[in-house]
Chain A
Amino acid sequence: MNCKGVIHEISNYIDGDLDPVVKQELERHLEHCEDCTMIVDHTRKSIEILCDSRPVALPTDVRARLHAALRRKVDSDPS
């Protein structure tokens, strides 16, 4: 597998979604290619940073309008 092949499979590789034979070829390439190894590491790290990011707290005015809408819904649709 060459560098282009690694880039094409990088997402599937990180997700653990690669055929074992393809995975072995990719890892063999990584053993001797520093650039691809770094790109894999950085891509994985980017995903981790994204996954770890927390949502900003809902603005209070937005929350108030949401709760008011839900109250109207419950009031008009008692179960």
Chain B
Amino acid sequence: MFGAIFIGKSARELVFWRPLHFVSAPNRHPLPSSVVREDEPLLVASARAGDTAAFEELVARYEDKIFRLTSNITGNREDAEDAMQDAFLKAYSHLNDFHGESRFYTWLVRIAANEALMRLRRRRPNHFSLDQPAEGDSDLMPRELEEWSPNPEQLYAKSEIDKIISALVEQLEDEYRIVLVLRDVEELSTQETAEALNISISAVKSRLLRARLKLREKLSRHFRQGAPN
């Protein structure tokens, strides 16, 4: 339980805390669509019944992902941390409002996205709007038309590719980056993304198309040059 584990420990000691079963876990970051589904409902049911250790396990499983999400949306470390923290606190407070219509992770992503969006809007009140129509056709047509050679996997280690993709995603405009992250990283459906952002399905699709094409352009330029752009 949180209380039992945390009471009497300093913040410094907490850094090293992990539930024992994670020590031997083969993969701490399974993709949300795969491994997570199998035991997630049991953990959530236990957490709802008052088992704080179960909730703690959910936090340990998703904290990295949720921080990446809030970082991707806000583009600001302080806001990202606050949004992540508030998302977990709200999830804990509202566990009884979760009735299993979606995966717990999807529910958590929606809470975290909402917290992050609130902070982004606060920081850029006159700049950021998901309601604005997407750009015209002119920006759609690809400019980079050369083959990637060698392939990214041949050119870079996995950790390097992760850094490259993270930096390139960060360069995307808010309205494209956020939709891309929710759909392709967090694996929300088009419908779930539309509901989370309170925009239409066609707006999600339009922004996703542009986001994916922009990302392709950036990756093509990067891998063609074989160096950071």
Report the bound CA distance from A79 to B67 in whole Å: 27
- Once A63-B63, A70-B88, A70-B92 are accepted as A-B contacts, the answer to whether A46 and B17 lie under 8 Å apart by CB is no
Q: Select from chain B the residue with minimum beta-carbon distance to A68.
A: B11
Chain B residues whose CB sits within 8 angstroms of the CB of A42 once the complex forms:
148, 216, 219-220
B162 touches A58 (CB 8 A): no
Q: Is B195 an interface position by the 8 A CB rule?
A: no
Q: Which residues 94-148 in B have Cβ within 8 Å of A in the complex?
A: 137, 140-142, 145, 147-148
Minimum CB–CB distance for B187 against chain A, Å: 8
The dominant DSSP class at the A interface is helix
B85 touches A65 (CB 8 A): yes
B213 touches A7 (CB 8 A): yes
- Once A55-B68, A71-B7, A75-B3 are accepted as A-B contacts, the answer to whether A43 and B216 lie under 8 Å apart by CB is yes
Q: Chain A interface: which size bin?
A: 35 or more
Report the bound CA distance from A53 to B93 in whole Å: 31
Report the bound CA distance from A55 to B67 in whole Å: 8
B212 touches A47 (CB 8 A): yes
B67 touches A53 (CB 8 A): no
- Tell me the count of chain B residues lying within 8 A, CB to CB, of chain A: 55
Chain A residues whose CB sits within 8 angstroms of the CB of B65 once the complex forms:
55
A-B interface contact total, Cβ < 8 Å: 136
Q: Is B64 an interface position by the 8 A CB rule?
A: yes
Report the bound CA distance from A11 to B136 in whole Å: 16
B142 touches A65 (CB 8 A): no
Q: Is A21 an interface position by the 8 A CB rule?
A: no
- Once A50-B185, A62-B81, A79-B50 are accepted as A-B contacts, the answer to whether A71 and B212 lie under 8 Å apart by CB is no
Q: Is B22 an interface position by the 8 A CB rule?
A: no
A55 touches B64 (CB 8 A): yes
Minimum CB–CB distance for A65 against chain B, Å: 7
B162 touches A53 (CB 8 A): yes
Q: Is B157 an interface position by the 8 A CB rule?
A: no
Chain B residues whose CB sits within 8 angstroms of the CB of A50 once the complex forms:
165, 169, 180, 184-185, 215
- Once A50-B184, A69-B89, A79-B50 are accepted as A-B contacts, the answer to whether A63 and B213 lie under 8 Å apart by CB is no
**What are 25 A-B pairs at a CB distance below 8 A?**
A10-B213, A45-B219, A49-B165, A50-B180, A51-B184, A51-B187, A53-B165, A53-B166, A55-B64, A58-B64, A60-B15, A61-B15, A63-B14, A65-B85, A67-B6, A69-B89, A70-B2, A70-B6, A70-B89, A71-B2, A74-B3, A74-B52, A74-B92, A75-B3, A79-B50
Nearest first, the 5 closest Cβ-Cβ pairs linking A and B are A71-B6, A55-B68, A74-B2, A11-B209, A55-B64
